[in-house]
């Protein structure tokens, strides 16, 4: 009797555990920059720690330690053509055109032989979840259609308009500025900026829809719009409560800002016991492209800072010359940036202001000197400066005196450090840390077979209905007409009197 009872119970226990723990998850991180890949990999690492089986598709090679028992890796050596260096003065129509042309090419991924083989030879319905690194690639939702599994997306910054319309969040631009808007427009200006953005979004979505229909044709596959509605969670590498701006979000928007630091691997570092400065301008920047006078300004400024060690990520030609003349300046192609910032003797971070670097400085509470180069870095650094976490300079015309003056202020004036320390406490104060939050909700979706109940009603409305345009027109249209008629009659009667 005892025995008979025990078996079904064991089976049941196994079944419950298997329902969540041994899940098979496909993680797609293609055509993205290294800093974006790091966010996707941090989420993947959390899932591995929970005992899931991962299939990782990336367009960049992974480090060796990724190739463990529960990971299947597919390398698709494919990248979008490099972004054109957009002249700052190109008008916005030209920029939009460039962006759309570039987007047009993203369908090429789906023609790669490695990719086709993967799609054709993987047996149907093997995955419990698709985790998509979301980066203007809605057409890849076809992969979830192919494997008939639920989808969660990972975004690498404060959610932008694309994400809001995908998930069905209300977009109230008149008080929620966008991450890439360096002027942080609100009010009427923000509203109009939002309309322009919606238009670009619509055009981009048409391109992605075209790519989708080519590779995932109906009736074999659900429609593009249907697949967009099936995205059930968005994990955003941001923390709204401490980083702002506060805006209206649905409950399936999850803030996982900080997850990269939580999942960071700690290697042994051999650091001298002196305060130090970390200097890195990101993976997309090369010192070989910089005029010698900029480099010289930095070297000359650092020469005056002998009380500090300086860890400089440098790929230029003069590393040994610089180090010979300044033994406290240590130059390498790559320094473990997060790990340096985590060290209690880190005093200052000189950065380009990429989202990943800013999060690291915030997490560890290190003040910054910002040198924006492109994209969202300028607005990121402007916000950073407004919060009192540091200062910014223009790298193209920076002088040795100006650099030294800013660095000394940042090292000597307490307010910068205090202010970023306070924010760091807020950033970390949460009911669940980012890793546990991501694990909980991703497993929730698997447990509840895609959890379709998480989806908001707004996603089932069309554009007119969602923006209440039909109702507004029906109510305010006649009202306006009546008002106009009253004015007209009034004028007529006055004239005739
Ligand atoms: C691989 O996954 C299984 C469960 O699916 C788990 O028991 C095992 O510990 C995992 N192995 C590693 C190295 O994580
Ligand atoms: C997240 O929080 C849990 C509970 O406090 C803790 O056990 C875990 O180590 C934390 N994870 C990370 C990566 O910090
Ligand atoms: C670095 O090297 C380049 C070429 O070798 C040279 O033109 C430049 O002046 C050097 N800069 C410094 C700061 O030494
Ligand atoms: C550098 O250029 C910016 C504008 O591009 C200007 O505001 C700033 O004053 C300039 N700094 C110096 C030192 O010339």
Strand partners, 280: 351
Q: How far apart are CA 487 and CA 495, in angstroms?
A: 12
Task: Kindly report the backbone phi and psi dihedral angles of residue 396, in degrees, each rounded to the nearest multiple of 5, phi listed first.
Answer: -75, -25
The answer to whether the CB of 51 falls within 8 A of the CB of 21 is yes
Please tell me the number of the ligand nearest to residue 397's CA: 4
Max alpha carbon distance in the chain (Å)? 105
The pLDDT assigned to 3 comes to: 45
The pLDDT assigned to 11 comes to: 44
CA nearest neighbour of 314 among 336, 330, 297: 330
Nearest-atom number in ligand 2 for the CA of 434 is: 1
Mutation to probe ligand 2, out of 263, 265, 435 (largest number of atoms < 8 A from CB): 435
400 CB neighbour count, 10 Å cutoff: 17
Spatial neighbors of 411 by CB under 8 A, at least 6 apart, are 308, 347, 348
The answer to whether the CB of 179 falls within 8 A of the CB of 379 is yes
Q: How many secondary structure helices (H) and strands (E) does the chain include?
A: 20, 13
Residue indicated by tokens 């367009």: 59
Does residue 51 line the site of ligand 1, with CB under 6 A? yes
CA nearest neighbour of 75 among 118, 131, 132, 40: 118
Ligand 4 centroid distance, CA of 460 (Å): 50
Which long-range contacts (C-beta less than 8 Å, at least 24 apart) are formed by 261-265? Answer: 261/338, 261/342, 261/359, 261/360, 261/363, 261/364, 262/42, 262/433, 262/434, 262/435, 263/41, 263/42, 263/45, 263/46, 263/435, 264/338, 264/339, 264/342, 265/65
Nearest-atom number in ligand 4 for the CA of 402 is: 13
Ligand 4 centroid distance, CA of 339 (Å): 33
The pLDDT assigned to 17 comes to: 45
Nearest-atom number in ligand 1 for the CA of 49 is: 14
Nearest-atom number in ligand 4 for the CA of 398 is: 13
Note down pLDDT in tens along the chain; length 497 residues: 344 444 444 444 444 444 566 899 999 999 888 889 999 999 999 999 999 999 999 999 998 888 888 999 999 988 776 665 555 566 778 878 888 888 888 888 899 999 999 988 877 658 999 999 999 999 999 999 999 999 999 999 999 999 999 999 998 888 888 887 777 788 888 888 888 888 999 999 999 999 999 999 989 999 999 999 999 999 999 999 999 899 999 999 999 999 999 998 887 778 778 999 999 998 888 899 888 999 999 999 999 999 999 999 999 888 889 988 999 999 999 898 999 999 999 999 999 999 899 999 999 999 999 999 887 888 899 999 999 999 999 998 899 999 999 999 999 999 999 999 999 999 999 999 999 999 999 999 999 999 999 998 888 888 888 888 888 888 899 999 999 999 999 988 887 76
Mutation to probe ligand 1, out of 21, 66, 69, 443 (largest number of atoms < 8 A from CB): 69
* Its pTM surpasses 0.85: yes
Is residue 482 helix, strand or coil?
helix
Spatial neighbors of 59 by CB under 8 A, at least 6 apart, are 29, 30, 31, 32, 75, 76, 77, 78, 79, 109
How distant, in Å, are the alpha carbons of 345, 414, 421 from that of 389? 17, 11, 9
Ligand 1 centroid distance, CA of 438 (Å): 19
Mutation to probe ligand 2, out of 49, 261, 436, 438 (largest number of atoms < 8 A from CB): 436
Residue indicated by tokens 């009427």: 188
Mutation to probe ligand 1, out of 18, 23, 70, 128 (largest number of atoms < 8 A from CB): 70
Does residue 79 line the site of ligand 1, with CB under 6 A? no
Ligand 2 centroid distance, CA of 433 (Å): 6
Ligand 4 centroid distance, CA of 279 (Å): 21
Q: How far apart are CA 497 and CA 479, in angstroms?
A: 27
| DSSP sequence for 374-436 | STTHHHHHHHHHHTTSEEE--GGG--HHHHHHHHHHHHH-HHHHHHHHHHHHHHH--SS-HHH
Does residue 452 line the site of ligand 1, with CB under 6 A? no
At 445, list the tokens: 């979706």
Query: Which amino acid residue places its CA nearest to atom 10 of ligand 4?
Result: 397
CA nearest neighbour of 31 among 150, 120, 138: 138
Please tell me the number of the ligand nearest to residue 14's CA: 1
Please tell me the number of the ligand nearest to residue 323's CA: 3
The pLDDT assigned to 492 comes to: 86
CA nearest neighbour of 200 among 85, 88, 103, 81: 103
Q: Which residues' Cβ are closer than 6 Å to ligand 4?
A: 394, 397, 399, 402
Ligand 1 centroid distance, CA of 71 (Å): 10
Ligand 4 centroid distance, CA of 405 (Å): 15
The answer to whether the CB of 239 falls within 8 A of the CB of 257 is yes
Ligand 3 centroid distance, CA of 293 (Å): 9
The answer to whether the CB of 159 falls within 8 A of the CB of 184 is no
At 180, list the tokens: 């890439």
């Amino acid at each position: 009797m005892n025995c008979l009872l025990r078996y079904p119970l064991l089976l049941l226990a196994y079944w419950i555990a298997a329902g969540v723990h041994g899940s098979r998850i496909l993680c797609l991180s293609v055509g993205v920059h290294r800093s974006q890949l790091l966010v996707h990999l941090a989420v993947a690492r959390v899932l591995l720690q929970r005992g899931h089986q991962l299939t990782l598709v990336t367009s960049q090679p992974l480090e060796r330690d990724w190739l463990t028992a529960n990971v299947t890796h597919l390398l698709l050596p494919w990248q979008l053509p490099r972004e054109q260096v957009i002249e700052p003065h190109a008008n916005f129509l030209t920029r939009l055109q460039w962006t759309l042309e570039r987007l047009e090419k993203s369908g090429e991924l789906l023609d790669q032989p490695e990719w086709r083989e993967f799609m054709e030879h993987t047996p149907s319905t093997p995955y419990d979840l698709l985790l998509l690194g979301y980066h203007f690639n809605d057409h890849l939702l076809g992969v979830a259609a192919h494997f008939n599994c639920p989808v969660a997306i990972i975004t690498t910054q404060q959610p932008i308009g694309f994400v809001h319309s995908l998930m069905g969040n209300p977009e109230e631009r008149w008080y929620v500025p966008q991450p890439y808007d360096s002027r942080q427009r609100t009010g009427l200006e923000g509203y109009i900026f939002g309309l322009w953005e919606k238009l670009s979004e619509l055009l981009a979505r048409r391109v992605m829809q075209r790519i989708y229909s080519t590779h995932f044709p109906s009736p074999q596959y659900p429609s593009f719009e249907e697949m967009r509605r099936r995205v059930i969670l968005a994990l955003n590498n941001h923390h709204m409560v401490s980083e702002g701006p506060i805006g209206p979000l649905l409950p399936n928007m999850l803030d996982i800002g900080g997850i990269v630091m939580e999942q960071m691997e700690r290697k042994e570092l051999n650091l001298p016991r002196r305060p130090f400065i970390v200097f890195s301008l990101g993976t997309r920047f090369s010192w070989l492209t910089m005029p010698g006078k900029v480099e010289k300004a930095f070297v000359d400024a650092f020469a005056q800072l002998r009380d500090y060690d300086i860890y400089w990520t440098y790929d230029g030609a003069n590393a040994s010359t610089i180090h010979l003349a300044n033994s406290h300046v240590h130059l390498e192609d790559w320094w473990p940036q997060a790990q340096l910032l985590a060290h209690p003797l880190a005093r200052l971070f000189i950065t380009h202001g990429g989202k990943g670097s800013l999060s690291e400085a915030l997490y560890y509470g290190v003040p910054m000197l910002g040198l924006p180069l492109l994209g969202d870095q300028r607005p990121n650094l402007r916000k950073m400066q407004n919060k009192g976490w540091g200062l910014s300079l223009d790298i193209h015309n920076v002088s040795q005196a100006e650099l030294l003056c800013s660095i000394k202020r940042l090292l000597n004036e307490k307010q910068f450090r205090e202010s970023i320390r306070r924010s760091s406490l807020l950033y970390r104060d949460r009911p669940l840390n980012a890793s546990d939050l991501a694990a909980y909700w991703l497993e929730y979706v698997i447990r509840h077979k895609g959890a379709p109940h998480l989806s908001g009603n707004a996603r089932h409305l069309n554009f007119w209905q969602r923006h209440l345009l039909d109702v507004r027109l029906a109510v305010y249209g006649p009202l306006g007409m009546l008002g106009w008629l009253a004015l007209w009659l009034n004028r007529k009667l006055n004239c005739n009197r």
